[in-house]
Amino acid sequence: MIDYNEFYEWVLHSFSLDIYKTQGYLKEKDMLNLRLIKKDVPTRYMNPPMKILEDNLTALKLLCDQEDLVMIMQNYPHTASVFRDTNAALEKIAKKLKVFYVDQYKYFEKSLTQEEWNAVMTPSHINYKGHEYMAQGLTMILNNVIANLEL
């Protein structure tokens, strides 16, 4: 049985760059199924092979279903063209898995002026203010979903 509180603690290690502890935990719990990408592929982080992406998200959906958790996927609001294929793939996979999908790119496009968008964008990532905008978009959508649920 997976202890999700313990798992959460180990995931936090990955954000502190202690990925080896996270990998060790996942291996110990028989949850790690590495699908490695060749190192010589220059865009491996921005445009992962879609089959690997779909396999990993499908596995995550199964874990969510086992624990009766709602899975939500969202794309990344980056303006660089390399993200377009990945964002399109995420939307397609979300529909296939029947999970909630938050289109952060469209939210940013509709909600932020070009000046605001430029202010939160770095060459490769959004800054803390961009993450605030992402959280606002996610919260707004979740509030709408919750309001429409039959309780």
pTM attached to this predicted model: 0.62
Q: How many domains does the chain fold into?
A: 1
Per the structure, the complete domain to which residue 115 belongs is given by: 48-148
Do the domain assignments include residue 35? no
Do the domain assignments include residue 118? yes
Do the domain assignments include residue 56? yes
Return d(Cα 104, Cα 113) in angstroms, integer: 14
**Whether the Cβ atoms of residue 91 and residue 75 lie closer than 8 Å to each other:** yes
Least confident of 26-35, 70-79, 99-108, 112-121: 26-35
Closest among 122, 43, 44 to 79, alpha carbons compared:
122
Q: What is the dihedral of CA 4, 131, 14, 33, to 10 degrees?
A: 70
Kindly report the CATH number assigned to the domain that includes residue 131.
3.40.50.1110
The answer, yes or no, to whether residue 29 has pLDDT greater than 60, is yes
Kindly indicate the confidence band of residue 92, based on its pLDDT and cuts at 50, 70 and 90: very high
